[in-house]
A and B are shown apart, each in its own frame.
Chain A
Amino acid sequence: MGAPSLSPRSILLFVCGEPRRGDDAAAFAAVECLSSSALQGVEVRRVGQLSPEDLVALGPNDACLIVDAVAGVPPGSVVRRDLASLLTPGDGPAPRSTHALPIPDVLGLAAELRGDLPRGAFLGIGGEAFGIGAGLSSSVDRALPAFVAAIEAELAALAGPTAR
């Protein structure tokens, strides 16, 4: 691709969803609540839809965390999946946001072009209502602190014990 790699050990936080579509805004809302210490060394990209080129640009030492609302789990449930487990669509929770390419294709293309999947994970929160202008449902709103805590813990894990 010729895209410049990020500096070594960069951590990218990809925020997916649609801020004006009910619980699809959950990831955007959670990122606003992250502490400044959790965001140290983290680059936040509010992409809405994840594209292969977002991941292809990651260098070999970079890591990423993808956050989105999901369907297929109880509203407000926080789920974590390895990126590799999202390569094939299954019966488990699936990212709710519409993507120009399905998430398995986005990850598969990135893996093919990079030679491997980037280091990282997917964190999602079960959504209930995705209507235009609806705001977060009460289930998701109540669970937002848990989602924020999970994101902070995952970012810390990706940074490693010596990064902070």
Chain B
Amino acid sequence: MATEAPSFERSFRVEGITRVEGEGSLHLVVRDGEVTEARLKIFEAPRYFERIIVGRHPDQVVDIVARICGICPVAYQMSAVSAFESIFGVQVDPVVTRLRRLLYAGEYIESHALHVYLLHAPDFLGYASAIDMARDHRDLVEQGLALKKTGNELMAAVGGRSVHPVSVRVGGLYRVPKKRELAALRPALARAIDASRATLNLVAQLDAPAFDRKARLVSLRHPTDYPLFQGRIVSSDGIDIGIGDWRTAFREEHHEGSNALHARTLSGETYMLGPSARVTLAADQLHPLARAALDGSGLRDAIASNPFWSIAARAIELIHYSAEAVDIIDAYEPPARPFEPWTPRAGAAGWGSEAPRGICWHHYETDDRGLVTKGQIVPPTSQNQGQIEADLTAFAPSILALDHDAATRRLEQLIRSYDPCISCATHFLDLTIDRG
């Protein structure tokens, strides 16, 4: 009678993943060197935003969906307002479109500075937290906070507030800033360009874990501008669809153990959104300063294939948005009016915008009074979740030689590479889901 070789099983369990927005956990099981289970669980309470917005006026919806996230409220606003403007046929003044990009630039600078310096850098430098890191690298933390503050000030100048800005409305903005208000921000943004270059130089010297894989990368792409809220949805394997046509290539599905719907391609495959996808798929649209920095870093291929190098992609986008903000401010002449009038009508449209952590896609249906009758919100983290689990599965066997704590930290570092916003990802399309 043959005797079975004893199997060797290791289980990694992190009940509360730190340095991410929201609450989630990781459970990963490795048996005989093979990952048998990799689950990133999201257990924040469902938040029912898609039901809250039914019956609401579009301008109310633009403000409500911003409250889904304190980190990327502009992404939610821009996806929603663009969808409504598509339904109502509103042509936004190009100057206002630039101001919206400026507002969005503030969100990127704030979010990326927070993530690079306070959430992700401690992983690379071997610290348990940003507080521990600050003891040895005070200058680093101060530089990150200064960058973050510049982003917050930019959001406050254009959006009225640095958290949950209130200026965006269908047709444009409630108020446009005066020239002198924006000019006052220019010195800080010029310093932010230098600080962002220093950031890239810093992160390029970090020691990222070896992990090369070929993931499907998905982002927006625009003929002339670095992707934000216009253009088409493209992928590294040939997807090229209209910005409103997300459903023709992707779908949402429910997975046990998670309050977030996962997204897959229609053929059930995972994909990666976010800075690494954008820098890879739209490198030619980067601001010249950012493109030169990317070329000089020699990290282009690593960013495309190794998720840990997303920290460099964020640094490149910090350069891009600091520089683009300066350009917008230098060219700014206030528009004749802050918004275009519009007439409500029944219709339906989808739209996506690039949140710092990837495409945030919305779809709305309206009645003849313009009130919302149905909404779908697909946050970036719920789209990345499948790829995170796929990466955990592929990466885990390579860290089994590490002691348990060190291996667990590496797995958490991999999750944080996606800058997951678990609060955003928690929503239900259907309130009657049977949890068994």
A binding-site residues for B, Cβ under 8 Å: 1-2, 18, 20-21, 47-49, 51-53, 56, 98-101, 105, 108-109, 111-113, 131-133
Query: A100 with B114: in contact, given A108-B131, A109-B134, A112-B135 (CB under 8 Å)?
Result: yes
Partner of B67, one of A21, A56, A109: A21
A51 with B152: CB separation less than 8 A: yes
| Size range of the chain B interface in the assembly | 20 to 34
A105 with B129: CB separation less than 8 A: yes
Interface centre among A20, A98, A111, A132 (most CB of B within 10 A): A132
Query: A105 with B70: in contact, given A1-B146, A113-B138, A133-B64 (CB under 8 Å)?
Result: no
A132 with B152: CB separation less than 8 A: no
A105 contact set on B, CB distance < 8 A: 118, 129-131
A52 contact set on B, CB distance < 8 A: 145
Q: Closest chain A residue to B66 by CB distance?
A: A20
Query: A113 with B142: in contact, given A18-B164, A100-B70 (CB under 8 Å)?
Result: yes
User: What would 18 more interface pairs be, CB under 8 Å, given A100-B71, A105-B131, A111-B131?
Assistant: A48-B162, A49-B163, A52-B145, A53-B148, A53-B149, A98-B21, A99-B70, A100-B21, A108-B131, A109-B134, A112-B131, A112-B135, A112-B141, A113-B141, A113-B142, A132-B52, A132-B64, A133-B52
B141 with A109: CB separation less than 8 A: yes
A112 contact set on B, CB distance < 8 A: 131, 134-135, 138, 141
- 1/0 contact string of B43-68 vs chain A (CB within 8 Å): 00000010010000000000110010
Q: Closest chain B residue to A108 by CB distance?
A: B131
Contact residues, B145-196 vs A (CB, 8 A): 145-146, 148-149, 152, 161-164
Q: How far is the CA of A155 from the CA of B88 in the complex (A)?
A: 51
Q: How far is the CA of A53 from the CA of B142 in the complex (A)?
A: 9
Q: Closest chain A residue to B52 by CB distance?
A: A132
Does B423 count as interface, using CB distance less than 8 angstroms? yes
Q: How far is the CA of A20 from the CA of B138 in the complex (A)?
A: 36
Query: A113 with B67: in contact, given A51-B148, A100-B21 (CB under 8 Å)?
Result: no
Q: Tell me, rounded to whole Å, the shortest Cβ–Cβ distance linking B54 to chain A.
A: 13
A101 with B145: CB separation less than 8 A: no
A1 with B163: CB separation less than 8 A: no
Partner of A53, one of B52, B145, B161: B145
Q: How far is the CA of A101 from the CA of B111 in the complex (A)?
A: 11
A48 with B161: CB separation less than 8 A: yes
B161 contact set on A, CB distance < 8 A: 48
A98 contact set on B, CB distance < 8 A: 21, 70, 423
Partner of A113, one of B70, B134, B148, B164: B134
B binding-site residues for A, Cβ under 8 Å: 21, 49, 52, 63-64, 67, 70-71, 114, 118, 129-131, 134-135, 138, 141-142, 145-146, 148-149, 152, 161-164, 423
B49 contact set on A, CB distance < 8 A: 132
Cβ contacts A to B, 10 pairs, < 8 Å: A1-B142, A18-B164, A100-B21, A101-B130, A109-B118, A109-B134, A109-B141, A112-B131, A113-B142, A132-B64
Q: How far is the CA of A53 from the CA of B152 in the complex (A)?
A: 11
10 interchain residue pairs of minimum CB distance: A108-B131, A48-B163, A112-B134, A53-B145, A53-B149, A49-B163, A98-B70, A1-B142, A132-B64, A112-B131
Q: How far is the CA of A56 from the CA of B71 in the complex (A)?
A: 21
Q: How far is the CA of A51 from the CA of B141 in the complex (A)?
A: 13
A49 contact set on B, CB distance < 8 A: 70, 163
Q: How far is the CA of A101 from the CA of B163 in the complex (A)?
A: 13
A101 with B114: CB separation less than 8 A: yes
Query: A109 with B131: in contact, given A49-B163, A101-B114 (CB under 8 Å)?
Result: yes
Q: How far is the CA of A52 from the CA of B152 in the complex (A)?
A: 13
Q: How far is the CA of A162 from the CA of B152 in the complex (A)?
A: 36
A56 contact set on B, CB distance < 8 A: 145
B163 contact set on A, CB distance < 8 A: 47-49
Query: A108 with B129: in contact, given A1-B145, A53-B148, A56-B145 (CB under 8 Å)?
Result: yes
Q: Tell me, rounded to whole Å, the shortest Cβ–Cβ distance linking A2 to chain B.
A: 8
Q: How far is the CA of A88 from the CA of B158 in the complex (A)?
A: 36
Q: How far is the CA of A108 from the CA of B67 in the complex (A)?
A: 27
Q: Tell me, rounded to whole Å, the shortest Cβ–Cβ distance linking B159 to chain A.
A: 12
B114 contact set on A, CB distance < 8 A: 100-101
Q: Closest chain B residue to A1 by CB distance?
A: B142
Q: Tell me, rounded to whole Å, the shortest Cβ–Cβ distance linking B292 to chain A.
A: 28
Interface centre among B70, B131, B146 (most CB of A within 10 A): B131
Interface centre among A51, A99, A100, A111 (most CB of B within 10 A): A100
B138 contact set on A, CB distance < 8 A: 112-113
Q: How far is the CA of A133 from the CA of B51 in the complex (A)?
A: 13
Interface centre among B52, B70, B161 (most CB of A within 10 A): B70
